[in-house]
Amino acid sequence: MARLQKILVVGGGTAGWLTACYLAKSLNSVAPGSIKVELVESPRIGLLGVGEATFPSIRGTLSAIGLDERRFLAGSTGTFKQGIRYRHWVRPQGAPGASDFFHPFSMPSQRTGGPELLPYWLLGAAPAGVPFADAVSMQKRLVDGNRAPKRAKDADFHGPMNYAYHFDAARVAEVLAEHGQTELGVVRHLATVERAELDAQGAIARIVTREAGELSADLYVDCTGLRGYLIDGAMKSPFRSRRDVLFVDRAVAMQVPYPQPDSPIPCYTMATAQEAGWIWDIGLQQRRGCGYVYSSQHSDATRAEAVFRQYLGAAAEGVTAQHIRFETGYRPEHWRKNCVAVGLAGGFVEPLESTGIALVELGAYLLTHLLPGDVDDMERTARHYNEMVVARYDRIIDFIKMHYCLSQRRDTAFWLDNANPDSIPDTLKDRLALWKHRPPHRLDFVGDLEMFLVSSWQYVLYGMEFKTDLEPMRSVYTRVDDARREFAMIQQMAGHALGDLPGHRELVEQMVREY
Annotated binding residues for FAD, written as ranges, equal 12-15, 193, 344, 357
Residue 480 and residue 125 in contact, taking contact as beta carbons nearer than 8 Å? yes
Distance CA 334, CA 349 (A): 15
Task: Please report which helix (H) or strand (E) contains residue 390, including its range.
Answer: helix 378-405
Q: Shortest Cβ distance from residue 45 to ligand FAD (Å)?
A: 4
Distance CA 507, CA 100 (A): 28
Q: Shortest Cβ distance from residue 254 to ligand FAD (Å)?
A: 12
Q: Shortest Cβ distance from residue 280 to ligand FAD (Å)?
A: 6
Q: Shortest Cβ distance from residue 55 to ligand FAD (Å)?
A: 7
Between the alpha carbon of residue 329 and those of residues 334, 384, 493, the distances in Å are 12, 19, 42
Residue 249 and residue 328 in contact, taking contact as beta carbons nearer than 8 Å? yes
Among 50, 135, 246, 271, binds ligand FAD (CB under 6 A): 50
**Which is closer to ligand FAD, CB of 328 or CB of 455?**
328
Q: Which residues contact 200 (CB under 8 A, 6 or more apart)?
A: none
**Which is closer to ligand FAD, CB of 354 or CB of 418?**
354
Binding of residue 11 to ligand FAD (CB under 6 A) = yes
Binding of residue 78 to ligand FAD (CB under 6 A) = no
Let me know if 120 is exposed, middle or buried by CB neighbors in 10 A (0-12, 13-18, 19+): buried
> Using CB under 6 A as the criterion, what x/- string covers residues 286-325 for binding ligand FAD?
-----x-x------------------------------x-
Binding of residue 181 to ligand FAD (CB under 6 A) = no
Among 20, 36, 41, 220, binds ligand FAD (CB under 6 A): 41
Q: Could you tell me which residues are annotated as the binding site for L-tryptophan? A: 353
Among 57, 146, 192, 510, binds ligand FAD (CB under 6 A): 192
Instruction: Choose the binding region for ligand FAD from 61-69, 219-227, 315-323, 490-498 (rule: CB under 6 A).
Output: 219-227
**Which is closer to ligand FAD, CB of 69 or CB of 222?**
222
Binding of residue 228 to ligand FAD (CB under 6 A) = no
Among 149, 356, 363, 440, binds ligand FAD (CB under 6 A): 356
Binding of residue 169 to ligand FAD (CB under 6 A) = yes
CB-CB neighbours of 480 under 10 Å: 14
Residue 497 and residue 267 in contact, taking contact as beta carbons nearer than 8 Å? no
Binding of residue 351 to ligand FAD (CB under 6 A) = yes
> Using CB under 6 A as the criterion, what x/- string covers residues 321-350 for binding ligand FAD?
---x-x----------------xxx-----
Choosing from 81, 140, 150, 401, the catalytic residue is 81
Q: Shortest Cβ distance from residue 208 to ligand FAD (Å)?
A: 11
36 is catalytic: no
Binding of residue 47 to ligand FAD (CB under 6 A) = yes
Q: Shortest Cβ distance from residue 47 to ligand FAD (Å)?
A: 4
Binding of residue 16 to ligand FAD (CB under 6 A) = yes
3-state secondary structure 224-266: CHHHCHHHHHHCCCCCEECCCCCCCCEEEEEEEECCCCCCCCC
Q: Could you tell me which residues are annotated as the binding site? A: 12-15, 81, 193, 344, 353, 357
Binding of residue 208 to ligand FAD (CB under 6 A) = no
How does DSSP classify residue 465?
T
Between the alpha carbon of residue 297 and those of residues 245, 264, 410, 422, 425, the distances in Å are 13, 37, 16, 16, 20
Instruction: Choose the binding region for ligand FAD from 36-44, 377-385, 448-456, 465-473 (rule: CB under 6 A).
Output: 36-44
Angle between helices 378-405 and 454-463 (to 10 degrees): 20
Give the E-state strand segments of 285-424 in sequence order.
287-294, 322-325, 329-330, 335-336, 339-341, 347-348
In this structure, which amino acid lies at residue 71?
R
Task: Please report which helix (H) or strand (E) contains residue 514, including its range.
Answer: helix 504-514
Distance CA 210, CA 76 (A): 30
Binding of residue 352 to ligand FAD (CB under 6 A) = no
Picking from 24, 39, 27, the residue whose alpha carbon sits closest to that of residue 3 is 27
> Using CB under 6 A as the criterion, what x/- string covers residues 232-251 for binding ligand FAD?
-------------------x
DSSP helix/strand/coil, 205: strand
In this structure, which amino acid lies at residue 487?
F
Binding of residue 13 to ligand FAD (CB under 6 A) = yes
First-to-last C-alpha distance (Å) of the chain:
47
Binding of residue 270 to ligand FAD (CB under 6 A) = no
**Which is closer to ligand FAD, CB of 49 or CB of 439?**
49
Buried b (16+ CB within 10 A) or exposed e, 54-80: bbbebbebbbbbebebbbbbbbbbbbb
Distance CA 291, CA 84 (A): 15
Q: Could you tell me which residues are annotated as the binding site for 7-chloro-L-tryptophan? A: 81
Residue 475 and residue 47 in contact, taking contact as beta carbons nearer than 8 Å? no
**Which is closer to ligand FAD, CB of 54 or CB of 82?**
54
Phi, psi of 234 (to 5 degrees): -95, -40
Distance CA 51, CA 223 (A): 14
Binding of residue 252 to ligand FAD (CB under 6 A) = no
Among 8, 9, 12, 462, binds ligand FAD (CB under 6 A): 12
Question: Which positions lie near ligand FAD, rule CB under 6 A?
Answer: 10-16, 40-42, 45, 47-48, 50-54, 169, 192-193, 223-225, 227, 229, 251, 291, 293, 324, 326, 343-345, 351, 354, 356-357, 360
User: What are the residue numbers of the active site?
Assistant: 81
